[in-house]
Amino acid sequence: MGNVLEVKGIRKSFGPVEALRGVDLTLQSGEVLALVGDNGAGKSTLIKHIAGVYRPDSGEIRLDGRKLDLLSPAAARDLGIETVFQDLALADDLSVGANIFLGREPTRRWLGILPYIDNGLIREETAGLLKRLNSHVPGKAKSVARLSGGQRQAVAIARAIYWKAKVVIMDEPTAALAVMERQNVIKYARELAASGAGVIYIGHNLVEILDVADRIAVMFRGAIVHTTTAGETSQETLIKYMTGYHDKQAGAQRPEQEREKRHV
């Protein structure tokens, strides 16, 4: 399948901090691309550009070949870019189904005139989705507030699957989860990719990364310094790139300009 997402030459500074120094990235439909790198490497800043939170100082992002302009998080979602953050943007006081259909509720018309929300359809679709994810989420729970971290992830992922998201961004989805729940989230990432989405998966646990990813991109100080397939790499290699080993090998004398070119 072709590239669903193309990031070209994205630069972003916060005051004096160059958070992104010219990032190029492609994402295909049906793949899980893991993004790894030390704290502060720029991973979250990069995906927030894709999710419509930030605008780049320069560079562009294309979805299905079309340039994304003036993006907001809501506009990104409408275009099929869903984000599953660690502290999820679920509406705590709403039910599972209401969260999945939030802002996109199916309606029917009473006597062909008065529109009302089709709660029967919401219940039915929600039950089917949860069953498919095999998530053990209590679909009838009155609110999602009391669900576990893993169950909340499952709800967000059910939402992405139901609405056929083109791109799903998972930023450290397992960071706060118990071991069993981590396995589920990895399974969901694969399920999303199998359903045709391109998945960007940010994580720290390299065992997990090598398990979940098709491809892996390593960020170091605001640039992608290495891209590989999961099958062709190892924890040792990834750690080398994450810690800037390649940089020292190349020599620190080199002018900044040239170093940047090499990273892109």
For residue 22, the minimal CB distance to ligand ADP (Å) is 14
Q: Which stretch binds ligand ADP (CB under 6 A): 43-51, 63-71, 117-125, 176-184?
A: 43-51
Q: How far is the CB of 205 from ligand ADP (least distance, A)?
A: 15
Residue 23 region, left (φ>0) first, then alpha (ψ -120 to 50), else beta? beta
Distance of closest approach, residue 13 Cβ to ligand ADP, in angstroms: 9
Containing 238, the helix (H) or strand (E) segment is: helix 235-242
Who's near 211: CB < 8 A, 6+ residues apart?
186
Which residue, among 213, 195, 193, has the nearest Cα to 203 in the 3D structure? Answer: 213
Q: Considering CB distances under 5 to 8 angstroms, the limit depending on partner class, which of ligand ADP, Mg ion, none binds residue 41? A: ligand ADP
Distance from C-alpha of 113 to C-alpha of 94, rounded to nearest angstrom = 27
Residue 43: CB minimum distance to ligand ADP, A: 3
Smallest separation (angstroms) from ligand ADP to the CB of 171: 8
Residue 61 C-beta: closest distance to Mg ion, Å = 18
44 binds ligand ADP (CB under 6 A): yes
Contact 47, 198 (CB under 8 A): no
> Could you tell me which residues come within 8 angstroms of residue 137 by beta carbon, excluding any fewer than 6 positions away?
96, 130, 147, 151, 154, 155, 158
Cα–Cα distance, 96 to 158 (Å, whole number) = 10
Contact between 98 and ligand ADP by CB under 6 A: the answer reads no
Contact 174, 209 (CB under 8 A): no
Tell me if 150 contacts ligand ADP by CB under 6 A: no
Give the helix/strand (H/E) hosting 28.
strand 17-28
Residue 19 touches which of Mg ion, ligand ADP, none (Cβ within 5-8 Å per kind): ligand ADP
Cβ-proximal residues to 163 (8 Å cutoff; 6+ apart), any chain: 80, 82, 104
CB atoms within 10 A of CB 219: 26
Q: Which residues bind Mg ion (CB under 5 A)?
A: 43-44
Query: Per-residue contact track with ligand ADP, 5 to 34, x per CB under 6 A?
Result: ---------x--x-x---------------
* Chosen residue from 26, 45, 83, 233 binding ligand ADP by CB under 6 A: 45
Q: What is the smallest separation between the CB atom of 42 and ligand ADP, expressed in angstroms?
A: 4
Among 41, 156, 168, 213, binds ligand ADP (CB under 6 A): 41
Q: How many residues bind ligand ADP (CB under 6 A)?
A: 11
Backbone angles phi, psi at 116, to 5 degrees: -145, 155
Q: Is 37 in the site for ligand ADP (CB under 6 A)?
A: yes
Residue number of the CB atom closest to Mg ion: 44
The yes or no reply on residue 223 touching ligand ADP (CB under 6 A) is no
Which residues of this protein are in contact with ligand ADP, per CB under 6 A?
Answer: 14, 17, 19, 37, 39-45
